[in-house]
């Protein structure tokens, strides 16, 4: 065993990737339909760190992994974050998380008179239970002692492992019926126009009266197919090629316009034919569909955009990203120049602008260093929470001048999952010695206090999310993840709730709750000092 310990301690990179491999082996173990997934990497890391105390890789590796994860989350969900933040569900989610964080903080402070824990240690346990390194730094600076680090070292592993077990128990108790939503696929209908109310009207006026989510890709008239044009005046018996991702609204549009006549357009391809191209050229990537300029004389219409596993309707404000597959109706003679315009390279599915990533991440790190003055409290720095905020804003902007901030979904998933795995392995190995050493000195008392603080955070947030505000379960678990803070919990939540909502809930909550935790620590330290 000594030889194994020596090997692990002298080869930290070997230890890191061994932890990753063993973590995923244990993570695949399925118990009643639930497995830990990448979250098991942390548990393996704690065990290896306890066995070989000097085996931890440099902390910068874990920070880099967390940076990649947070940046990828922000870039992907920037637009949804800002929309959801002002939505009724977003307001409820933030309210539930604030109540959970403040409630657990008050309980941590109450331990001082109740059981005689020092204030700096209790604030450290609060920071550890909420897995907030920024809060730990704030506590140590405010209290001018390292007692917070002792409480943090015990509560941090509890703060990561506890919510995973809590979500496991909550899922087993409630048995939510969550099914991954089927990918949106484009549906088409060929509709002969017979409604007198639409005859003689411009196409743009007719589209405005159709159900939301319906587009007209082409019009057939006098035995010829024509691309849609807003100023086209419709005539009786024109055939409209309608598209939608919801069959119900397509049926409603058909009943409004006239009657189905399948084959009238698709069987005639001499004027317009269908082609699909990859968006890989900077002439189109980062631009909205309305801003794409086709070569003069080109007869072309965008029918849909496929991103990941879903078809997106061709809205004028839809911004193309690297790797999008664009379905077009185009004259065969123009297919070659259209391919050149879009690039049509499969490499676009993995295209990354490292210039944009470098500038975006550097900007986020710089913002995280800026001290923000809080009257009566002092100053605080947001750290990596600021990086997430910057990434969310860049994800919303999507493109700024020559910089394309977005990345293909496939590349984003690989980048952030790799970063998350490296972070979990490094943090687990590094925390293992402190965890077992502190338990050996304080016994189980600090461990129990950390569990109590964590349970207050989890229970208050869950109760308000699920039973007071009645948020959907998959969104609620994302909010719980954001309130507790650690991305390992989010990785597990994505397994028990396989939709986009856990990521969205996490993104809505994590930056604001990091600020709330820092503020609480500084206010508590200031009031106690006064």
- Distance between CA 182 and CA 424 in Å, rounded? 31
Q: Is the dihedral of CA 474, 476, 482, 488 positive or negative?
A: negative
Whether 466 contacts 473, CB under 8 Å: yes
What angle is formed at CA 509 by the lines to CA 41 and CA 19, rounded to 5 degrees? 5
Q: Would 10 be classed as within a structural domain?
A: no
How high is the pLDDT of residue 101?
95
- Distance between CA 61 and CA 488 in Å, rounded? 16
The residue to which tokens 């007719």 are assigned: 206
| 3-state DSSP percent of the chain in helix, strand and coil, to 5 | 60, 15, 25
519 and 375 in a common domain: yes
- DSSP conformation class of 218: E
Q: Would 515 be classed as within a structural domain?
A: yes
- DSSP conformation class of 432: H
324 and 199 in a common domain: yes
- Distance between CA 74 and CA 72 in Å, rounded? 5
- Distance between CA 393 and CA 74 in Å, rounded? 8
Tokens of 357: 């990533």
514 and 417 in a common domain: yes
Which of 284, 318, 349 is the endpoint of a domain? 349
How high is the pLDDT of residue 111?
93
- Distance between CA 42 and CA 44 in Å, rounded? 5
- Distance between CA 34 and CA 178 in Å, rounded? 13
Choose the weakest-confidence range: 25-29, 51-55, 108-112: 25-29
- Distance between CA 115 and CA 139 in Å, rounded? 20
140 and 206 in a common domain: no
How high is the pLDDT of residue 147?
63
Given the DSSP bridges, would you call strands 239-244 and 310-312 parallel, antiparallel or unpaired?
A: unpaired
CA distances from residue 72 to 66, 160, 243, 366, 394 in whole angstroms, order as listed: 10, 21, 32, 18, 11
Q: What is the mean pLDDT of residues 206-217?
A: 90
φ/ψ of 353, rounded to 5, equals: -95, 100
Whether 36 contacts 496, CB under 8 Å: no
pLDDT at 33 over 60: no
More confidently predicted of 212 and 32: 212
How high is the pLDDT of residue 137?
64
Which of 349, 371, 395 is the endpoint of a domain? 349
Helices (H), strands (E): how many in the chain? Answer: 18, 13
- Distance between CA 75 and CA 404 in Å, rounded? 11
- 325-355 burial, b if ≥16 CB within 10 A, otherwise e? bbbbbbbeebbeebbebbbbbeebbebebee
Q: What is the mean pLDDT of residues 279-291?
A: 87
φ/ψ of 168, rounded to 5, equals: -60, -50
Tokens of 462: 């869950």
How high is the pLDDT of residue 17?
93
The most confident of the ranges 79-93, 141-155, 223-237, 413-427 is 223-237
Q: Would 16 be classed as within a structural domain?
A: no
465 and 417 in a common domain: yes
Tokens of 375: 């009257």
Q: Is the dihedral of CA 362, 365, 367, 371 positive or negative?
A: negative
196 and 120 in a common domain: no
173 and 210 in a common domain: no
pLDDT at 530 over 50: no
Q: Would 473 be classed as within a structural domain?
A: yes
Q: How far is CA 268 from the centre of its chain?
A: 43
169 and 201 in a common domain: no
417 and 368 in a common domain: yes
- DSSP conformation class of 466: I
More confidently predicted of 408 and 450: 450
Q: Would 23 be classed as within a structural domain?
A: no
The residues with which 330 forms a beta bridge, in sequence order, are 273, 300
φ/ψ of 416, rounded to 5, equals: -75, -30
368 and 339 in a common domain: no
Tell me the pLDDT tens digit for each residue of 100-149: 999 999 999 999 999 988 898 899 899 889 887 667 766 776 777 666 76
Q: CB within 8 A of 305, min separation 6: which ones? A: 289, 311, 312, 314, 318, 320, 324, 325, 326, 327
Long-range contacts of 205-208 (CB under 8 A, 24+ apart): 206/234, 206/257
Q: How much is the pTM?
A: 0.68
Domain that holds residue 170: 56-177+358-423+437-529
pLDDT band at 96 (very low <50, low <70, confident <90, very high): very high
More confidently predicted of 511 and 3: 3
pLDDT at 356 over 90: no
400 and 343 in a common domain: no
What is the distance between the terminal CA atoms of the chain, rounded to a whole angstrom? 53
User: What's the CATH number where 239 sits?
Assistant: 3.30.70.1450
Please report, rounded to a whole number, the percentage of residues in the chain having pLDDT higher than 70.
Answer: 92
How high is the pLDDT of residue 350?
63
Which of 310, 326, 349 is the endpoint of a domain? 349
pLDDT at 183 over 80: no
**Number of domains within the chain:** 2
What angle is formed at CA 54 by the lines to CA 486 and CA 125, rounded to 5 degrees? 35
Q: Would 96 be classed as within a structural domain?
A: yes
Q: Would 19 be classed as within a structural domain?
A: no
The residues with which 240 forms a beta bridge, in sequence order, are 191, 219
Tell me the pLDDT tens digit for each residue of 386-431: 887 899 899 888 888 888 888 877 788 888 888 878 877 887 788 7
The rounded mean pLDDT for the chain is 84
CA distances from residue 335 to 272, 325, 338, 344, 515 in whole angstroms, order as listed: 10, 15, 5, 11, 53
Q: Would 484 be classed as within a structural domain?
A: yes
Tokens of 13: 């990179």
405 and 518 in a common domain: yes
- Distance between CA 513 and CA 130 in Å, rounded? 10
In 55-118 the beta strands, taken as DSSP E runs, fall at: none
Whether 247 contacts 260, CB under 8 Å: no
Q: Is the dihedral of CA 287, 288, 291, 294 positive or negative?
A: positive
Tell me the residue length of the chain: 530
User: Taking the CB of residue 309, how many other CB atoms lie within 10 A of it?
Assistant: 10
């Amino acid at each position: 065993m000594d030889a194994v310990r020596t090997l692990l301690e002298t080869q930290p990179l070997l230890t890191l990737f061994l932890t990753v491999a063993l973590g995923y082996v244990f993570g695949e173990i399925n118990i009643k339909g639930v497995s830990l997934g990448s979250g098991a990497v942390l548990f393996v890391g704690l065990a290896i760190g306890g066995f070989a105390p000097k085996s931890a890789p440099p902390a910068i590796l874990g920070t880099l992994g967390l940076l990649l994860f947070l940046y990828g989350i922000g870039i992907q969900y920037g637009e949804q974050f800002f929309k959801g933040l002002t939505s009724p569900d977003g307001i409820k989610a933030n309210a539930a998380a604030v109540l959970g964080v403040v409630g657990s903080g008050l309980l941590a402070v109450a331990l001082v008179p109740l059981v005689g824990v020092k204030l700096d240690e209790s604030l450290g346990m609060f920071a550890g239970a909420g897995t907030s390194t920024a809060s730990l730094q704030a506590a140590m600076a405010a209290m001018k002692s390292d007692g917070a680090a002792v409480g943090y070292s015990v509560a941090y592993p509890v703060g990561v492992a506890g919510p995973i077990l809590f979500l496991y128990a909550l899922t087993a108790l409630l048995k939510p019926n969550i099914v991954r939503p089927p990918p949106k696929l484009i549906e088409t209908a060929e509709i002969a126009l017979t409604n007198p109310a639409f005859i003689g009207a411009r196409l743009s006026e007719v589209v405005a009266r159709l159900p939301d989510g319906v587009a007209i890709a082409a019009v057939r008239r006098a035995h010829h197919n024509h691309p849609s044009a807003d100023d086209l005046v419709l005539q009786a018996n024109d055939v409209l090629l309608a598209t939608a991702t919801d069959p119900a609204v397509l049926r409603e549009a058909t009943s409004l316009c006239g009657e189905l006549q399948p084959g009238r357009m698709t069987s005639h391809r001499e004027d317009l034919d269908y082609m699909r191209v990859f968006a890989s050229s900077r002439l189109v990537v980062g631009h909205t569909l309305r801003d794409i300029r086709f070569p003069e004389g080109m007869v072309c219409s965008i029918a849909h955009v496929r991103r990941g596993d879903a078809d997106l309707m061709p809205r004028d404000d839809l911004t193309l990203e690297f790797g999008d597959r664009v379905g077009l109706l185009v004259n065969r003679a123009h297919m070659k120049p259209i391919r050149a315009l879009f690039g049509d390279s499969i490499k676009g599915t993995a295209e990354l602008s490292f210039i944009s990533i470098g500038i975006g991440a550097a900007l986020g790190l710089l913002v995280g260093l800026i001290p923000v003055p809080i009257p009566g409290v002092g100053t605080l720095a947001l750290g990596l929470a600021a990086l997430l905020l910057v990434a969310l804003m860049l994800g919303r902007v999507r493109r700024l001048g020559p910089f394309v901030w977005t990345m293909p979904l496939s590349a984003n998933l690989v980048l952030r999952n790799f970063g998350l795995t490296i972070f979990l392995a490094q943090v687990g190995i590094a925390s293992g010695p402190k965890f077992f050493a502190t338990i050996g000195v304080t016994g189980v008392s600090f461990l129990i206090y950390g569990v109590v603080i964590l349970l207050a955070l989890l229970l208050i947030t869950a109760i308000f999310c699920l039973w007071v505000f009645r948020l959907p379960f998959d969104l609620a678990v994302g909010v719980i993840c954001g309130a507790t803070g650690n991305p390992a919990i989010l990785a597990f939540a994505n397994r028990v709730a396989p939709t986009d909502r856990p990521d969205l809930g996490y993104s809505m909550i994590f930056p604001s709750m990091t600020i709330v935790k820092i503020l609480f620590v500084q206010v508590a330290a200031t009031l106690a000092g006064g």
